[in-house]
Structure 1
Amino acid sequence: MKGNELVRVIATHVFLQGTMGGMRLAAPLLALQLGYSAVAVGVLIALFAVTQMLLALPAGRYADRQGLKRPLALAVVAACGGSMLLALVPTFPAMCAAALLTGAATGMTTIALQRHVGRAADGPTQLKRVFSWLAIAPAAANFVGPFVAGLVIDHAGLAPADLQSYRVAFAVLALMPLISWALVRTLPEPPIAPPVAGARTTRAWDLLRDGMFRRLLFVNWLQSSSWDVHAFVLPILGHELGLSASVIGSILGAFAIAAAVIRIVLPMVATRTTERGVILAATLTTAVVFAIYPLLSSAWTMGLCSIVLGFALGAVQPMVMSMLHQITPHARHGEALGLRLMTVNASSVAMPMLFGAAGALIGVASVFWVVGGVVAVGSRAVWGLRAGAQSL
């Protein structure tokens, strides 16, 4: 895959997902300003993930059949439509509809672009490189979208944060997917892999019959759950230790920066690493950090642990994506990506509720230790990971 093509793919991802990032800032703020409760805002935020979870498998199969551009065209229409709906009708029901539409657009974009990059890459080494670069896009999108939305809300109205400024912000966010389409519409793509002649009709769930795919999905779930528990439980632990909100935010920020930095470094060392080696090192590091975290009382030492954890967890997704494209048939990459995205989103919805209940029952420190123990035991699954095409 050529460098300029990869840059266009990354920018496409940034602008389309940036629309959802901006909506996740602007829509809840407007809902609160209109007098809706925190519970209603929580439901609104959850809706951004619902369609990503429910439509992941259909979106994956559609990408397998149609390639890159048709799924991206649908994503652009959904993202633009959801944003413009709020620019025209800034009401709470419209916010809910817009959340569902922009969430669906982001999910379809993620699957289609990941599938395209995996198909266009030339060999395992380039797979690791391109997925490391592509993994930077969500972090950039989650900066660009909220930054643009916040800037417009503060300066585009007759007064900061008035209704007119929100309308303008939603209209500006609706333009970002159009930039994505301009970038991707002339992008060359490999031919769609034809179905095997005489092959029986398959279902996405058939992928789970393959032991290597199940193992990879389980390892990915371990890392995703570790990411979620850190984001959810660390603020509670910091509050119990009497740390200020800005200090807790700085610790979480250090984690995010480290996760982005390691994804910039990975392409440079791709030839000297294996996917299994990186995932195993990250898994063991995560288990050790989770064992240490509750024993710390200093913001500086917690920040250091956060950075180490960011390096570890940030390195995993590119390696998982590289292996996934090697162990699943070309004609079913979209299905595999959809199944992975569905499990990750389902975990992100369910795990915080489970962590919250567990924290109330056994204490926050124990949650870190329990999850760290599960990750340590689960590291055995990493030993069995092997890259190589499978016949599913």
Structure 2
Amino acid sequence: MVKHWFLNVCIATALLQAVYHAVRVLVSYRVLALGGDAVTIGVVTALFSLAPLLVAVRIGRAVDRRHAAAVLRTGVLLTSLGVLVIAVSGDLIVLGLGNVILGFGQILVTVAGQGFITLLSPPGELDRGFAGLTLGVSIGQAVGVPLVGVIAAGSSDGGVVETTLALTVMGVVALAAVPFAWPIRERPQPAGPPTPGDRQSVFSMISTTGMRPAVFSSLIVLASVDVVVAYLPVLGHEFGFSVLLVTLLLTARTAASIVSRAFLPWLLTWVPRSKLLVSATLCSALPTALLPFVPHPAVMALLLVVAGFFWGIGQPLTMTWVAGLVTAANRAAALSLRLTGNRLGQVLIPLAAGAAAGVAGTSSIFVITGGLLGTAAVSTWRAVSTS
């Protein structure tokens, strides 16, 4: 039987992730409409991750101290505010500010959601809990992106893509998460003062065997998804694809992640965890690198389905991997450390991608991303082979 708290976390996550993923696609089009280019998109995309990068572990500590509910509620409110600022932005500076606010909201919601899984899940159920949580992420992405694609396509005149109406709708979706996020509560803190060994330092956690390759694999997968979300609209624009077609291609990737996450508990009974962890980056590297060289929607959809399937496996498994490397009192902090790595990748890789696009064209972004996925596969293989 599905627990009430778990269902609420998954529904709130699905609604809010629909907002994050859809708005980030719209931001790329809004940057272009405001006179920006591929380099500008890289900078604005990095702003989403830059400021929250500094506070992720502190947020995790707050969740470990049983403040997950307050963190989640604050994240919902900041998400709504960020979407509003982006929707009314008339220049790139205000747009960038809105993306920073949205990024803060996203990190709060993400840390709180993962924290509830570690705090409230029964022992031995982390894989199932994280699979359900990330399934909510994928479902939200699958609904949000095509929804704004239809709205933007219907409100545009064939020239500049009009994004204000679609952003307004996403603001309403963010507010719809309120009745699901507000009732969730943590269990009371166990009586008695914490022992000196309860809290691990960031250095202690990152020095734990397996932590660095786990974080590296996670950040490369998430940054790869970000690169595809941010630059597939640019690539589609170069190929002459409509905004609706681009959003459908992105939805194909998301749908594949839904399938892999829905069947992850079953896959774990048949395929060793180590092989699934390696496959997350190994089997998505080539499809990502090939995207700019096959300007046919059906072939690109197939490549995105393959990449999306294996990316869908990677995120929940690295969550369990990271959470299992530390004590129970440090799991949210460790997951926040993983998110810090993710955000670092989300800052540096889009900036590098934007620079590469300015020099070598948009296609170079996907080739470099494929190479990074291959590097992460080697790192993960070495880690799981020696553990």
- Note if 1:374 corresponds to 2:379: no
Q: TM-score, normalised by structure 2?
A: 0.75
The answer (yes or no) to whether the contact 1:51–1:104 under 8 Å persists in 2 is yes
- Aligned pair partner of 2:326 in 328, 333, 344: 328
Q: 1:102 to 1:252 in 2, by over 3 A?
A: closer
- The Cα of 1:208 is off from its aligned counterpart by 0.9
How much has 1:206 moved relative to structure 2? 2.9
Per-residue CA deviations over 1:23-64 (Å, capped at 9, x if unaligned) read 44566666766x554466664444323333233222212222
Contact 1:284–1:379 (CA under 8 A) maintained in structure 2: no
Q: Within 5 Å, give how 1:207-356 maps onto structure 2.
A: 207-224=205-222, 227=225, 245=241, 253-286=251-284, 293=290, 299=296, 303-354=301-352
Tell me if the contact between 2:64 and 2:330 (Cα under 8 Å) persists in the aligned partners: yes
Cα deviation, residue 302, structure 1: 5.7
Describe the superposition over 1:147-206 as per-residue Cα deviations: whole angstroms up to 9, x where unpaired: 6667777899xxxx999x94x766654444443232133234334467632348753333
**Structure 2 alignment gaps of length 5 or more:** none
Matched letter for residue 104 of structure 2: A
Residue type at the aligned position of 1:8: N
* In 2, Cα distance between equivalents of 1:25 and 1:279: 28
Q: CA deviation at 1:348?
A: 2.4
Whether the aligned pair in 2 keeps the contact of 1:287 and 1:375 (CA below 8 Å) is: no
C-alpha distance 113-63 of structure 1, shift in aligned 2 (>3 A): same
Q: Determine the structure 1 residue equivalent to 2:181.
A: 184
Secondary structure of the 1:211 match is: coil
Which shifted more, 244-253 or 44-53?
Answer: 244-253
| Contact 1:53 1:342 survives alignment (8 Å) | yes
Could you tell me how far apart the structure 1 residues matched to 2:352 and 2:317 are?
Answer: 27
| Seq. identity, % | 23
Which deviates more from structure 2 when the two are superposed, residues 321-330 or residues 218-227?
218-227
Cα distance between partner residues in 2 of 1:232 and 1:23: 11
Structure 1: 5+ residue stretches without partners: 387-392
| Structure 1 pair 268–55 and aligned structure 2 pair: CA distance change class (3 A) | same
For 1:23-42, list aligned pairs within 5 A: 23-24=23-24, 35-38=34-37
Residue 332 of structure 2 aligns to a residue whose secondary structure is helix
The alignment partner of 2:183 has SS state of coil
C-alpha deviation, 1:12, in angstroms: 0.8
Distance 1:271 1:201, change over 3 A: closer
Change (3 A) 1:385 1:248: farther
The alpha-carbon deviation at position 327 of structure 1 amounts to 1.9
TM-aligned CA distance change 1:297 to 1:24, over 3 Å: closer
Q: Secondary structure in 2 aligned to 1:190?
A: coil
In structure 1, what is the Cα distance between the partners aligned to 2:346 and 2:274?
24
* Change beyond 3 A, Cα 1:128–1:297: same
**CA deviations over 1:202-232 (Å, ceiling 9, x no partner):** 5333311211222322332454455567668
1:262/1:188 Cα in 2 relative to 1: closer, same or farther (>3 Å)?
same
Q: Kindly tell me: are residues 72 and 244 of structure 1, through their superposed partners in 2, closer, same or farther at Cα, counting changes over 3 Å? A: same
Amino acid at match of 1:5: W
Q: Are the aligned partners of 2:128 and 2:265 in contact in 1 as well (CA < 8 Å)?
A: yes
* Paired letter, 1:123: P
CA distance in 2, matches of 1:284, 1:113: 28
Q: Say which is worse superposed, 71-80 or 94-103, in terms of deviation.
A: 94-103
Paired with 1:100 and 1:215, the residues of 2 have a C-alpha distance of 28
- Alpha-carbon distance between aligned partners in 2 of 1:366 and 1:97, rounded to the nearest angstrom: 30
Give 1:336 deviation, angstroms.
1.2
Q: Looking at CA atoms only, which structure, 1 or 2, has the larger radius of gyration?
A: 1
> Aligned in 2, Cα 1:382/1:195: closer, same or farther, shift over 3 Å?
farther
CA 1:277–1:374: 2 relative to 1, 3 Å: closer
TM-score, normalised relative to structure 1:
0.74
Task: Tell whether the 8 Å contact from 1:67 to 1:192 is kept in structure 2 after alignment.
Answer: no
Q: Distance in 2 between matches of 1:77 and 1:298?
A: 40
Could you tell me how far apart the structure 2 residues matched to 1:216 and 1:179 are? 34
**Which deviates the most, 375-384 or 72-81?**
375-384
Which region of structure 1 is more displaced relative to structure 2, 272-281 or 130-139?
272-281
Rounded Cα–Cα distance in structure 1 between residues aligned with 2:66 and 2:18: 24
CA apart distance, 1:103: 1.6
Would the aligned equivalents of 2:19 and 2:174 in 1 still touch at CA under 8 Å?
Answer: yes
**Which whole-Å CA distance do the structure 1 matches of 2:304 and 2:41 have between them?**
28
Distance in 2 (CA, whole Å) between partners of 1:301 and 1:153 is 24
| TM-aligned CA deviation for residue 315 of structure 1 | 0.8
The structural deviation recorded for 1:69 is 0.8
User: Relative to 1, partners in 2 of residues 1:178 and 1:265: Cα closer, same or farther, differing over 3 Å?
Assistant: same
Mapped to 2, the partners of 1:16 and 1:264 lie a distance apart of 19
